[in-house]
Amino acid sequence: MTTNLGETRHGLPRGIDHLGMTSTHASQNEAATRETRLKRLILVGALASFLSIFGLTIAVDHQQAQVSSETTNVSANAPLVQRNSAAGIAQPQIRTRTS
């Protein structure tokens, strides 16, 4: 590992588990499998149950009423965030905030 403080690391052991926080192909595959399984679980469970209860058409109508006031079509060239207007710095498309 290197930092801009000039630190170097070699050969430190990596943990291996199905969160996939390693660089091995096996663990990456395992992480992908787990994520796929979780997505299926959640989408088939929570979202599908929602859709089955309310129906997609009704859901769409309701969602339009709820979210349209907050939804913005940003297909124009205007950046999403206007900050750090220094020359040569592109505008970010999204920000990571401290949590």
Partner 1 sequence: MNETLPSYRHAFPSMGSTVEILLVSHNAAEQEALTTFGLAERLAAEWERTFSRFTPESEISRLNARAGRPVPVSELLYAAIEIALDGSRLTGGLFDPTILRALAGLGYDRTFDEIADDGRQWLSPTPAPGIAGIRLGPEQRVVTLPSNTHIDLGGVVKGLYVDMLAGSGSWVGGAISAGGDLRVWGIPPTGDRWIIGVEDADDPSRDAAQLHLDRGAVATSGTNRRAWRRGGVLLHHLIDPRTGLPAERGIRTASVFGATAVQAEIAATALVVGGLEDPVVRSLIRQAVVILDDGEIVTVRDAMGGQVDVINLTSCATIAA
- Give the binding site for partner 1 (CB under 8 A): 1-5, 9-10, 12-15, 17-21, 23, 28, 31, 35, 38-39, 41-43, 45-47, 50, 56, 59-60, 62-64, 66-68, 70-77, 80-81, 83-84, 86, 88-99
What tokens were used for 70? Answer: 């907050």
Nearer to partner 1, 26 or 46 (CB): 46
Rounded to whole angstroms, the Cα distance separating 51 from 58 reads: 9
Which backbone phi and psi does 73 adopt, to 5 degrees? -80, 115
Q: How far is the CB of 53 from partner 1 (least distance, A)?
A: 10
